[in-house]
Amino acid sequence: MNVTIVDYNSGNISSVINSFKEVAQDNVNIEVTSDLNKIKLGDKLVLPGQGSFKSCIEALKNIDGLTDTLNEFVLTNKKPLFGICVGLQMFADIGYEETETKGLGWISGKVSKIDNQNGKYKLPHIGWNQINIVKDSKIFKEIKNNSHMYFVHSYEFIPKDKNVISATTDYSSNIVCSIEKENIFGTQFHPEKSDKLGLQIIKNFLNL
């Protein structure tokens, strides 16, 4: 099985690469690339994201044909994709970080700044926080409810259809921290920085 981590110059993704390589069995080949043909031939895709919504969308668009290739992979061929942090946020129709920016539009919704209640909550939200699993998601196999995951973000994804939400976390309000819709998976937290439980989530995605 070929699992492709999309490298589109969105910041340091070495911890993502290392975690997937650590979990991968002998029969799983991890490829890190922005080569469109290699992406098309992959069985599963990982879309990391660091930095702002705007900068990540622009970095994707700077690689000619990449968004079309991703659309084909996810929407037409319905192969599994896992978005991490801003990688998840980009599923949305629109984001409001820095400026209004159009997203990939895979899951209807918007990305807005977390309401920190006039400074009562620090932004960015950094550190370990409990997740509340609200849907029986394939990537939460062997993960107990109220487990702690590692977060770094100031913006949250608010999907229109609440049925796609698989977990939330409580920080200032109930924040969506995991999504599952058919072949599309994503976490707002960083599984690659969430110790053994994070590795279990990666393993669950590889075992889909």
Residues noted as catalytic: 85, 190, 192
CA distance 186 to 189: 9
- Grouping H, G, I as helix, E, B as strand and the rest as coil, residue 21 is helix
Q: How far apart are the first and last CA of the chain?
A: 11
Contact criterion met (CB below 8 Å) for 69 and 57: no
C-alpha radius of gyration, the chain, whole number: 16
Residue 176 CA neighbour count, 13 Å, CB half: 29
Burial 56-86 (b: 16+ CB within 10 A, else e): bbebbeebeebeebbeebbeeeeebbbbbbb
Residues 6 or more apart whose Cβ sits within 8 Å of residue 53: 86, 89, 90, 95, 96, 97, 98, 101, 103, 111, 155
Report the residue count for the chain.
208
Contact criterion met (CB below 8 Å) for 114 and 151: no
